Structure 1
């Protein structure tokens, strides 16, 4: 069984981004499969989720965090789409700043 986790790092302030709600969807669906909130270390683990071979979306609801940390929010939410193709664990980091973001497949 593979596991899903994510990590949000505030690259403008150089620290983890806590209290960001992250939702999991099948790509193209509006039905939320799971929801977690990043902890003080900016991490969230989706417990009890089995990822079958499919395309998924992690939706990071960053607007409250951005407004608190940066004074405004250019991106109210960030969708990261990914494909589950095998039984490995999936870790999706998000690097966040006021006017940009980046993501990659973590380990």
Structure 2
């Protein structure tokens, strides 16, 4: 079964980004949403099995930074990625107010 997880880290402060909203989209359809836990993780997002195709994770970075009184360049971070088969897809986000990076995690 394919499923999606994520982990958001605040690279400025070197700690998890707890309390950030995350949505999983397939095309224009929202499949699921969640909020990062105290460890900055959303352990399961969406259906237990996802069909092959292109999906997006949308992180509410603007709201998250605003709640902390920090200006940011990115009102949201949108990461498009492909699902090809029955695997676990882990998509981490390393975040600062003026930059971010991501990779295929395990």
- Tell me whether the two structures share a fold, i.e. TM-score over 0.5: yes
- CA shift for structure 1 position 69: 3.8
* CA offsets 1:1-43 (integer angstroms, 9 cap, x no match): 12210000000100000111110111xx322111011001000
Give the root-mean-square deviation of aligned CA atoms. Answer: 1.3
1:34-49 mapped onto 2 (5 Å cutoff): 34-44=32-42, 45-46=44-45, 48-49=47-48
Partner residue, 2:22: 22
Q: TM-score, normalised by structure 2?
A: 0.91
Q: Residue 70 and residue 101 in structure 1: after superposition, are their counterparts in 2 closer, same or farther (change >3 A)?
A: farther
2:70 and 2:97 in contact (8 A); partners too: no
CA drift of 1:49 comes to: 3.5
Q: Distance in 2 between matches of 1:39 and 1:21?
A: 10
Who is 1:97 aligned against? 96
- The count of aligned residue pairs is 105
Mapping for residues 35-74 of structure 1, pairs under 5 Å: 35-44=33-42, 45-46=44-45, 48-69=47-68, 71-74=70-73
Shift in Å at residue 73 of structure 1? Answer: 2.1
TM-score (norm 1): 0.91
Alpha-carbon distance between aligned partners in 2 of 1:32 and 1:105, rounded to the nearest angstrom:
21
* Alpha-carbon separation, structure 1, partners of 2:30 and 2:91: 17
Q: Which runs of 5+ in 2 are unaligned?
A: none
CA distance in 1, matches of 2:69, 2:104: 26
**What's 1:80 paired with?**
79
Q: Which runs of 5 or more residues in structure 1 are unaligned? A: none
Query: Is the CA contact (8 Å cut-off) linking 2:52 and 2:85 kept in structure 1?
Result: yes
